[in-house]
Structure 1
Amino acid sequence: DDLSRVARFWGTERLAQTPGLMAVELFEAIARGDVKAVWIMGTNPAVSLPDSHAVCQALAACPLVMVSEVMRDTDTSRFAHIRFPALGWGEKEGTVTNSERRISRQRAFLPAPGEAKPDWWIIARIAQRLGHGAAFAWDHPHAIFTEHAALTAFENHGERQLNLAALTQLTRAQWDGLTPWQWPVNREVFTRAHRVPVNPQTHGATPNLLYPFTLNSGRMRDQWHTMTRTGYVPRLMQHRDEPTVEISPQDAARLGMQDGQLARISAQRGLMVVRARINDGQRPGELFVPMHWNSCFSRQGKVNALVEGRCDPHSGQPESKQTAVRLMPWQPAWQGELYSREELTLPTYVHWWRKAAKGVSRLTLAGDKPLLEWLLAHCAGQGWQLQIAQTGERSSLLAWHQGALMLGFWQDVALPGLAHTFIEAAFHAAPVALAERHALLNGQDPGERSDPGRIICSCFSVGENAIREAIAGGCDSAAALGAKLRCGTNCGSCVPELKAMLSVRV
């Protein structure tokens, strides 16, 4: 009945009679060759779906991949044959409905950049090219909204709670001035809602002798989904700027793993390389890894490369949160930091993690094969003037061109501690004084400004060293720290970490 009603409303006999493929099923069908064209809008399945290597292989073999995106470079858009520049959230006009069924007007607060267009506009133009212009003859989001409202009211005699009949005749001016509007209007109808009891099943990730840990993936406070936008914002990368694995002290001791050490996590489907963080709150036998990192920000940092595509049979939701894995410490021959004015395509034997920096490319690197000779050859090929220093296992390289710093590289057995703000500023300074050049070669700030340490409060760039100093000076609560340093007084997301630091003061 529902299908025939929609067909009557649209005046068509060609209406899909069965459910379409869910996300994981879709990419399995692409891999089999059953689906030969896919249009991906506003999502990044090459990172977000489980068994991401298989998803990438499917996209690479698909005859036609179209991607609508707001960012030029994402893991998924690298497979696209056709790219459509879409609008971001603040550039769109339309309506949104929140979880309490309240419809609100969404108004753009930024102009459309370049050739970017809203999704509805792109869809309508493609439909017209395919001969369906009459069915997609929208000229404004107002026309789409009133069509949607009319469909909810069509042959609706009170059986369906969603009924926007009162909004079907809105003029464009009335739609533009629409105030928040909640459905259903008839509240008595909604009292028929009831809860459905469910019997939850245990997850399917069973640890064994080969893969003894249960890996849980999830969000971090300053990142959003797959970092396609937030990963380029330096402030949002201050708190955690590379993928990590949280491990209990008991498991770390058993594996001989130190805090800050690199580690390899492997499963049947893939491998990722992360930095270990020993966490007293982590349960033994379990690990936690953030879900956000991708191939644009790390060489092997995608957690979904490890996750099996096991799905709920009803919703199709993949079981992305639990995976049986193996964890092993990795001590590379060297670790380093690389700054350059232009993006470099490094040799495949180098592990790298991209860090957000203003106007310059910054990579944290590690490897077992040396990179310095490759960098020297690259700089010599550009005709740049070189400045080199080596003390024991520590090496550094600066490359200059007409007084401008073009590249800087610092390496040691362990990750060298550097004055990153000073180094970043040197790429924007001209000319750089001779004394500062020598300081840059050492990676240290001649002004000897205090190191804030790892940033805890991203809103006000308050580091852990300043917080520990304030705690030692008598601050005994998050409120006291906020009064002294401002940390935790804006968005509040760092307050739990402040309380954790206070709890270990004793």
Structure 2
Amino acid sequence: LVKLAEKNALDPQYISQYTVDFEKAFSAANKDVADVATLAERIGVDSQTLATFFDWFCQTEKTMTCFSMGVNQSSAGTDKVNAIINCHLATGRIGKAGASPFSLTGQPNAMGGREVGGLANMLAAHMDIENPVHRERVQRFWQSPVIADKSGLKAVDLFDAMYEGKIKAVWIMATNPVVSLPNADKVRAALEKCELVVVSDCIADTDTTRLADVLLPSLGWGEKDGTVTNSERRISRQRGFLPAPAQAKPDWWALSQVAQAMGFEGFDYQTPADVFNEHVALSAFENDASIESGLRDFNLVGLGQLDTEQYNALQPIQWPVLSKDQGTERLFAQGQFYTPNRLAKFVPLTSRAPKNALSAEFPFVLNTGRIRDQWHTMTRTGLTPRLLQHIGEPYAELHPNDAKKLSIQAGDLVEISSTWGKAVVRAQLSDGQRQGSVFVPMHWTGVLTRQSRVGAVVNPAVDPVSGQPENKHTPVKVSRFKAAWHGYLLSTTPLNLPECDYAVAIRLEN
């Protein structure tokens, strides 16, 4: 923000006409700013490269800032996203073709999940659970006798509360938290303590399903019917092309059956189209600028009351959909925002270091994430031998200089340990890895390995607003693992892995 001002790259007219609180944001940034050389050293890049980046951003009118988990998975992730938005607002590069901040969500239909209220602090249709006007509106629409008046627990906090005995029952759908969440051994212990664990999944054997008291068979991707929304707000029909196997049912059906058994009459959906029509109706309900907190960006009024045939024929369309078959290609093109005063709000920010600092005991930064061939916790991709031919074992990628200091060679087993847990993986060396850092993929599980779930190592610090865990910065110790013996076993039938310091199951062709 400061560099934009120094290089006369601000858009004063846009700032004045369409935003508020620029002065507060600029003042906070100005107090926090360092010269290019100092900043480059702080963030670990070449000072000339950083200066070139500043020049490019200042001089390029059509600038897209695309960000994903590297920004979001941080204890300061919300601030980082707001910093990106501040820079785009300050230059008027928002709501224009080729000029916008753009969130690349971490998985398909992440936006669709938010639209239906799939977060602990949201109601359906992008309404806020702690906004009394929104809450009363949704309660009237649903004709609900009661409604929660404060946010629920986000994922990490939820399992902490479960571990402490404050949560007695949990229903987990389509996720594998015993592998994917930070401090994963505590997550597993929490589920072991929980009085009732219900898991809905399309895969029978996962780290989480192994802890289920009730295991419900769900539909997989090729069997589901519904809609998904991508990062450009485009709603598309997802049509199943495989029959539902055996007793497997869609998740909406299972939820509806339980709700009806509990006496809630509003869950008498017969088809996915019924669910979608209610979703559409709520998005349009009292969505009007003349009503307090009325006008909202998410509005599907143009898709109202589709019959099954029309729903099945629905073509991809971007919301808001204000009239039949007429989506909205671009939001904010007229400088109007969905805030009470219709102005975008700059957020004053001060940079913050990761919550857990490096130390003499834990001198390396652990970073986790995805690799090319696997997806999340390998529940499906791990079943495909071809995808395991490129990388068949969990590994830690180190810089050769760090490995040399630790007497580690490529192919050695190494132990990655933190305050929260440890994992044993295979060492890989790469000049592309930053010195002082180690990368371990998030994918491998307790079903496929012994002692290689990197989630057990990751710290549970979270962003105070989003609740996103700090998966990209855990202080760790790296050491060569001295195995007493090594062995390989080939089998034509599945084997139960032995309890040992390190083991990995690798599926092969035939």
Q: TM-score w.r.t. structure 1 length?
A: 0.68
Pick from 464, 469, 477 the counterpart of residue 318 of structure 1. 469
Q: Which has the larger radius of gyration?
A: 1
Change (3 A) 1:143 1:346: closer
Aligned counterpart for 1:213 among listed residues 337, 359, 364: 364
Question: Contact (CA 8 Å) 1:40, 1:66: kept in 2 or not?
Answer: yes
Compared with structure 1, are the counterparts of its residues 174 and 349 closer, same or farther at alpha carbon in structure 2 (3 Å cutoff)?
closer
Distance in 2 (alpha carbons) for counterparts of 1:130 and 1:339 = 51
1:253 aligns with 2:389: no
Segments of 5+ residues of structure 2 without an aligned counterpart are 1-132, 290-294, 323-327, 338-343
Q: Corresponding residue for 2:455?
A: 304
* Aligned positions of 1:31-180 closer than 5 A: 31-132=163-264, 134-158=265-289, 159-180=295-316
AA partner of residue 236 (structure 2): S
Change (3 A) 1:103 1:117: same
The aligned residue for residue 264 of structure 1 is 415
Structure 2 contact 412–480 (Cα < 8 Å) conserved: yes
Q: Which has the higher strand share?
A: 1
Q: Counterparts of 2:275 and 2:307 in 1: how far apart (Å)?
A: 12
Q: Which has the higher contact order (CA 8 A, sep 6+)?
A: 2
* 1:97-496 paired onto structure 2 within 5 Å: 97-132=229-264, 134-158=265-289, 159-185=295-321, 190=332, 191=334, 192-193=336-337, 194=344, 196-197=346-347, 198-345=349-496, 347-349=498-500, 351-358=502-509
Name the structure 1 match of 2:10. none
Task: Measure the CA separation in 1 of the matches of 2:218 and 2:478.
Answer: 40
Supply the AA of the counterpart residue of 2:276. Answer: F
Q: Which deviates more, 95-104 or 2-11?
A: 95-104
What does residue 2 of structure 1 align with?
134
Count of matched residue positions in the alignment of Structure 1 and Structure 2: 358
- Matched AA of 1:169: Q
Give the AA of the match of 1:177.
A
Q: Distance in 2 between matches of 1:350 and 1:330?
A: 9
Contact 1:261 1:275 in 2 (8 A): yes
**What is the alpha-carbon distance in structure 2 between the residues aligned to residue 347 and residue 150 of structure 1?**
54
Q: After superposition, give the CA deviation of every residue in 1:464-490 in whole Å (9 maximum; x if it has no partner).
A: xxxxxxxxxxxxxxxxxxxxxxxxxxx
CA contact (8 A) 1:87 1:118 kept: yes
Taking the aligned partners of 1:185 and 1:62, their CA distance within structure 2 comes to 43
Inter-partner Cα distance in structure 1 for 2:152 and 2:497? 41
Tell me the CA shift for residue 200 of structure 1: 4.2
Task: Give the structure 1 partner of residue 99 of structure 2.
Answer: none
Cα distance in 1, alignment partners of residues 370 and 454 from structure 2: 12
Residue by residue over 1:304-347, the C-alpha shift from the partner in whole angstroms, topping out at 9 and shown as x without a partner, is 11112111000111111111111111232322211224444454
Deviation at 1:13, TM superposition (A): 2.8
> Partner of 1:216: helix, strand, or coil?
strand
SS of the aligned residue for 2:487 comes to: strand
Equivalent-residue separation in structure 2 for 1:243 and 1:260 (angstroms)? 11
Is the Cα–Cα contact under 8 Å of residues 206 and 214 in structure 1 kept in the other structure? no
Q: Contact 2:182–2:456 at 8 Å: present in 1 too?
A: yes
Amino acid at match of 1:235: R
Separation (CA, whole Å) in 1 of partners of 2:321 and 2:300: 9
Q: In the TM superposition, what whole-angstrom CA distance separates every residue of 1:92-128 from its partner, at most 9, and x where no partner exists? A: 1111122222211111111111211111011111112
**TM-score scaled by structure 2?**
0.68
Give the AA of the match of 1:240.
I
Deviations 1:199-231, CA, capped at 9 Å, x for gaps: 442212322111111111111011000111111
Distance 1:147 1:276, change over 3 A: same
**Whole-angstrom distance in 2 between the partners of 1:334 and 1:51:** 29
Amino acid across the alignment from 2:305: Q
Query: Letter of the aligned partner of 1:183 in structure 2?
Result: W
Q: 2:143 aligns to what?
A: 11
Residues 347 and 296 (structure 1), Cα distance of their counterparts in 2 relative to 1, 3 Å cut: closer
Q: Is the 8 A contact 1:205 1:214 kept in 2?
A: no
Q: Distance in 1 between matches of 2:311 and 2:382?
A: 36
RMSD of equivalent CA atoms: 1.7
- Contact 2:217 2:249 (8 Å CA) reproduced: yes
Deviation at 1:160, TM superposition (A): 1.6
- Paired with 1:229 and 1:247, the residues of 2 have a C-alpha distance of 28
Residue identity (%): 49
